[in-house]
């Protein structure tokens, strides 16, 4: 696959869980074999997790690391 803004946008959508199952499966196959897309996906997943935690804190929920086990 050619690495263009459309592909990287799709990687972002994959990281956010916003693709259909069929699209996610197809793109995940590419991501698993492409170092550039794998690195982009990993960075975006980390960012999405941080944003999710911030939203939980703003909503008054405890962060996962502060929850009792």
Mean pLDDT of 42-60: 76
Average pLDDT of the segment spanning 37-60: 80
Q: What is the CA radius of gyration of the chain?
A: 15
Structural domain span for residue 51: 5-66
Is the distance from CB of 11 to CB of 32 less than 8 angstroms? no
The secondary element (H helix, E strand) that includes residue 43 is helix 35-58
Q: What is the Cα–Cα distance from 26 to 59, expressed in whole angstroms?
A: 35
Structural domains in the chain (count):
1
Q: Is pTM beyond 0.75 here?
A: no
Give the model's confidence band at 28: pLDDT under 50 very low, under 70 low, under 90 confident, else very high: very high
Q: What pLDDT is stored for residue 2 in this prediction?
A: 64
High-pLDDT (> 70) share of the chain, %: 72
First to last CA, the chain: 44
Rama region for 40: left / alpha / beta (φ>0; ψ in -120 to 50; rest):
alpha
């Amino acid at each position: 696959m050619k690495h263009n803004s459309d592909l990287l946008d799709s990687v972002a959508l994959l990281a956010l869980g916003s693709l259909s199952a069929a699209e996610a499966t197809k793109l995940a196959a590419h991501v698993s074999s492409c170092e550039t897309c794998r690195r982009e996906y990993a960075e975006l997943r980390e960012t999405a997790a941080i944003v999710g935690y911030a939203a939980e804190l703003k909503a008054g929920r405890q962060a996962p690391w502060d929850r009792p086990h």
